[in-house]
Structure 1
Amino acid sequence: MGSLSHSGPFGRSSSTQPWMVARLKVNGEILSYYAISLTALIAVFIVGHWTRRLVSNTSGSMFLYPIAALSRAIRKASLRKLPGFTSVGHAVLVAVFVALNALFSFYRVDYSQLSNLAARFGWMATGNFAFVVFLALKNTPLAVLTVYSYERLNGLHQIAGYTTLLYTILHGALYTYYFMHTGKTYILHEDVVTAGIISGFGMFFIVFVGMTLRRFKYELFYIIHLALFVVIVVTLGLHRPELEDEKTLKVTIIIAALWGFDRLVRLARLAYNSINNEAIVFPLPNGGTRIVLKKPMARARPGKHCYVWLPHIRALETHPFTIVAAEPMELVINTYSGFTRDLHQYARKNPGANLKASVEGPYGTFPDPMDYDKVVLVAGGAGATFTIGLAADMIRRLSPDSTKQIEFIWTTRIRENMAWFTQHLIHLIAHEYAPKINLKLHLTRANTTKTAAVASAPIPRSPSQISTAVESIPASVMEESIEIPRLSTQASSVALRERYLEKIYTMERADCIEEAALTVDGLSLPITYGRPDVAATVREAILSTSKDKKILIAACGPTAMLNIVRNTTASHIMVDGPSVELHCEGFGW
């Protein structure tokens, strides 16, 4: 937070003094070393990803056997769930990140003056801020070079953000103490210092808003987040405006350029995809909404997600949703609050309506199911938006002589939710390759009068039939939505809830043997009441696969379910077993 004014002790006159020149040089070098270290860390993941692909595609090679064995041993340990982290691997990554920051915070610091340590913290804050922005890029190069798209980097993005805030607080606090202790408090009133103070408070509030509003008022969080980011970048540039003296302003310019380029690319896609594009909106029972786009989107695949713009609902907002089908492009959306609530209410009042629309994306990285001999798809609740699209796309691409096997398990609370995907489920059981897919549907609640009403309602085949279909379903069913449980903000409460849910998912339930069927268009969908034994299903699928085969376990749903899938898969990765790939999609953004 040192001043760069011409007359101040940290301005141009002081920056030419030998001690200041030496400090600027050292701090610039340290920032470069930190950037190189982060690049090397990213390179490890890039090399690991492509090495695994090479080993997986040449599994019979004795030359690559040691590499495959080492890779499987590492994954067996790193994929397991660890309290407080997504997995052991994520915890190790965070530990390495923290260690790098600790190293470069204190390496080659002249402790003769407290201001030297304060300056180092400021440089580390700037470097981490650049890393935060890089991790937030929607069009990140890591999506091509690794298996990590921006949404899978969000955890590290948040941790890097907390780290940046910590450095910012230390930077400001130490400099303030130093100026007060040396009788130079007048420096705190200089313009460049004021800019730094504003930037620091902006950093504090952007983290605070992220911790408090993100999960409950996402639209408000996003607006505040965006506005504060602009304030931080501008004031950071004004805090260190001397381009020729140091690298801080250069880093700030890079930050602005990265963010601006990403925004321009997204805006260009949104504008292009809006040309002659419309969306037809259909209300679904239990608070669901189906959107069918008029135009296909380039590179769209079921399971990926895109940002949807419906100006009639919210003119200045785009929202991410999973792609269920690519041609025609279809999205199925659960109702929570804000945009999704307004969209569902509009669809109920105007079923089959055409709205001006555009999409931007697609985003998301996951393995191609066609590269595997056996695919196990596990979904809980609205997680079926991910797995049903994958199953339908895979069965469409199968050949008559294909030996691939598909295990599809979907657990939902009530039968009404199955109406969201009626056409896709019918497609799966009526397809000529239906024997290749083992479809398991589980309900955790018994049949109700509302369920019967939905099951007997006519299935609309065209927009002109939508109104009739909607009118035949009671309004109470259409209005009911799946509410987000209100959780305590305390981490202990969240942890207790996760452990409780995980226990429920692993319990053996006697009512799981009760079976029924949902009949639609003369086709019977087998339904089992009660939660499935997800761990047993995953375990059996892996153990029944020969060691020369490849198996993909893909899951989307509640955290408790994903933890079971993750731990079961990890425990059955064997050196002398099949090649096992795990992909987990979580709720939220």
Structure 2
Amino acid sequence: MLRPWSLDADWIETGKTYYDVEPGMDGWQDYVDTVNAFYHNSFFVPCVAGYALLGAFVACVIIATLRRMILLISPARGRANISQSDKVINAVHKHIISAPLFGQRHAETFAWSRFFPWQAPLRGQTLLLLGLFLANFIPLVGFYRPSPAEKNLYWPADLYGQMVRYVADRAGVIATVQMIPLILMSGRNNPVCLLTGASYNTAMLYHRWFARFVMTQTLVHGISYTASALHSGKESYDESWEPYWAWGVAATFFFAFLCFFSLRYFRRTAYEIFVCTHVVFAVLGLVCLWYHVAVLKVDTWREFLQYLEAAFAFWAFDRVVRITKLVLLSFSASAKSSSAVVEAVAAPLPGEATGGGGGAEVVKVTIQLPGPLASQVKTGSHVYLWIPRLQLFSAHPFTVAKSSFKADQGSTLVVLAKANRGLTKKLYNSAGKQLSVFVEGPYGGHEDLSRFDRTLLFSSGIGITHCLSVFTDAIVKGDKESHLIWTMRDPSMAAAAIELLEEAVKEATPSSGAPKTTMSIFVTRSSSPQTKEDIQTAAAIAPILTSSSNRQKEISSDSPEEDEKKSLGSSGADDSAQELTLRKRFDALEESSKGSLRVTWIHLPNKRPVLEDIVAEFVGDQKAEDNFSRTTAVVSCGANSFCDDVRQASRRFNLHLSEEPFEW
């Protein structure tokens, strides 16, 4: 089998034709040394590095898969006696696997500039990324064996020209090899996530880093080749008009444009532009790269084409599966298609900002799925909604707040979303309408938490959609202790979940003892109306909820007395009526739960609850070294800074964390 560093069949004839040497002649050994040096430096070293990189990638997937299987079948949950090895594992989990690289930020970015925010990986992820960096850097700068300049026939007496060409070739090879994991980690139907249980957010983190290294190597490849051509003179520079060079330049520009429009700024402010440009530039870039290699018709380079064809295959596989899922969910044999009914379930209280500000413009979308795959969509999973009437060229991800299936009707999905901009705002403005919708999924969802005895759920704002399925399941079954912390600025946000909670309570098993499921709603709006009972409750739990923290501080500098006056006096009658109506519904919800649910409504004007102290209150006297991660799971969904606060709190007691930030 020919490898890229194998000598082709014409190398002897090339020596005779272009260098006037043949076996037995003076200068023949110099030619052999020149050829061997070229193939070793330009192809052997980077190809071996590429094999090592792909092998390490596969090894990491296998190890993560085995770890997941062990966790799923481990019978050691809840052991009283903890071995020394368990303590070591817990320490590794606390200080390496779940710890941010530095400080507390992981989901929240470091805003170094508007266009270039940076997301710090976890320490465990950093170790893998460091290995990826070394796999890109070492073969680019090391293991060179150039032939003596005075004896080199390709670059006579020109060590600079020789080395620049080697660097160019190595960068091109390493970039091409990484196309496989780059494309593989980008798919929604990612086999790596399926095997390892990694979240889509984690897959996207590695996808972005692979893309950065590929783009860097591509630029090194192009710049070095240009420098080599300029250095070699006009004849070599004229090769820039050759087709292979033109295809390479086109591929470089497409990949550069793709990376530019993938910046977080565009993902946040123009999601549709990001999606469309990503697909178009990725396809064009891969096609140009394939022709860049293929037009040279070098037999030993067939391996590079196979790398690109494998990348194409992964991309095509993901697209085919996505289309298949969409058809099997959205259409039935009777030619019925899915439809959605849109309604607004929460509106901002008077005086609140709207359209992506502090107001709670929440929309509820009820979707009828007639397709044969409809029963596979579970509560807590993700689906992509394509609504051509509102957004023609892209589908958006949503969490399924509730899913119910009937054999004769298909599935009914409930999706909740806060109106921000783009599709969600258009959905809110379409309240009361029935729309044609095409659904693709399901994806993700909650990991299996059955091995844990208790769950502590944290959600902020519309993040309740992710935690709701775990909490309602705990209400219905009544067999596990579950506590939900829900923070919101606008109390009208609570209307988003009340109906689903009421349905869960109707199915709940009556409880004779203390409720196993409890819910604490924290309202941080400064003008939220409070009763004297609210003020007394807040004062009683103040040490737990508002103790000092580096990151959790009072939003305003007013004294508690001033906050109290503001909250009691600044709200109008409409505010009070709307919120008090919601509170009465939650009170009725608790009464109808037959002892299975307790709801606490807490006002913290201009303050945030200190999540570390809430976790400490929940776990009681247990300590991190007692292997508490085997019995309690923490789930979080919300704004990035909120998720970082939850991570910090869970790390204090080394609890298992399942995290779902608002964006990736």
Q: Same fold (TM over 0.5)?
A: yes
Corresponding pairs, count: 516
- Name the counterpart of 1:474: none
CA deviations on 1:248-301 (whole Å, 9 max, x unpaired) are: 211111111110110000001101211132222112323221111212734323
Residue 399 (structure 2) pairs with residue 322 (structure 1): yes
- Name the counterpart of 1:252: 308
- Name the counterpart of 1:344: 428
Residue 601 (structure 2) pairs with residue 527 (structure 1): yes
Change (3 A) 1:326 1:110: farther
| Match runs of 1:305-384 below 5 Å | 305-327=382-404, 328-347=412-431, 351=432, 353-364=433-444, 366-384=446-464
Partners of 2:453 and 2:631 within 8 A in 1: yes
Partners of 1:291 and 1:332 within 8 A in 2: yes
Residue 107 (structure 2) pairs with residue 30 (structure 1): no
Instruction: Give unmatched runs, 5+ long, in structure 1.
Output: 1-6, 452-498, 574-579
Instruction: Look up the equivalent residue of 1:417 and give its one-letter code.
Output: M
Alignment partner of 2:322 out of 245, 266, 282: 266
Instruction: Look up the equivalent residue of 1:95 and give its one-letter code.
Output: L
Between 1:312-321 and 1:196-205, the stretch displaced more is: 312-321
Change (3 A) 1:393 1:503: same
Shift of 1:429: 5.7
Partners of 2:185 and 2:203 within 8 A in 1: yes
Shift of 1:501: 6.1
Instruction: Look up the equivalent residue of 1:234 and give its one-letter code.
Output: V
Shift of 1:448: 6.0
Partner of 1:375, secondary structure, is: strand
Shift of 1:572: 1.5
Alignment partner of 2:86 out of 68, 72, 94: 68
1: distance between equivalents of 2:203 and 2:559?
37
Partners of 2:276 and 2:393 within 8 A in 1: no
- Name the counterpart of 1:459: none
CA deviations on 1:204-252 (whole Å, 9 max, x unpaired) are: 1111111141211010111111110011010000110037322221111
Change (3 A) 1:368 1:387: same
| Match runs of 1:474-485 below 5 Å | none
- Name the counterpart of 1:220: 273
Please say which structure displays the higher CA radius of gyration: 2
Percent of aligned positions that are identical: 21
Alignment partner of 2:201 out of 151, 165, 179: 151
Partners of 2:244 and 2:292 within 8 A in 1: yes
Residue 469 (structure 2) pairs with residue 395 (structure 1): no
Alignment partner of 1:166 out of 216, 222, 234: 216
Shift of 1:160: 1.5
Residue 258 (structure 2) pairs with residue 206 (structure 1): yes
Alignment partner of 1:518 out of 583, 595, 598: 583
Shift of 1:19: 5.2
Shift of 1:412: 0.4
Alignment partner of 2:344 out of 271, 280, 283: 283
Between 1:513-522 and 1:294-303, the stretch displaced more is: 513-522
- Name the counterpart of 1:191: 243
CA deviations on 1:145-172 (whole Å, 9 max, x unpaired) are: 2121333221221121111111111111
Change (3 A) 1:110 1:302: farther
Partner of 2:185, secondary structure, is: helix
CA deviations on 1:69-113 (whole Å, 9 max, x unpaired) are: 332111110212334514322322322221222233334334552
1: distance between equivalents of 2:260 and 2:383?
27
Instruction: Look up the equivalent residue of 2:225 and give its one-letter code.
Output: Y
- Name the counterpart of 1:537: 614
Change (3 A) 1:395 1:312: same
Partners of 1:395 and 1:433 within 8 A in 2: no
Between 1:422-431 and 1:559-568, the stretch displaced more is: 422-431
Residue 369 (structure 2) pairs with residue 295 (structure 1): yes
| Match runs of 1:478-497 below 5 Å | none
Instruction: Give unmatched runs, 5+ long, in structure 2.
Output: 1-9, 19-31, 103-118, 147-158, 348-360, 405-411, 531-548, 569-579, 591-598
Partners of 1:303 and 1:322 within 8 A in 2: yes
Alignment partner of 1:93 out of 109, 122, 128: 128
Partners of 1:55 and 1:68 within 8 A in 2: no
Partner of 2:636, secondary structure, is: strand
Partner of 1:283, secondary structure, is: strand
Partner of 2:501, secondary structure, is: helix
Change (3 A) 1:547 1:25: closer
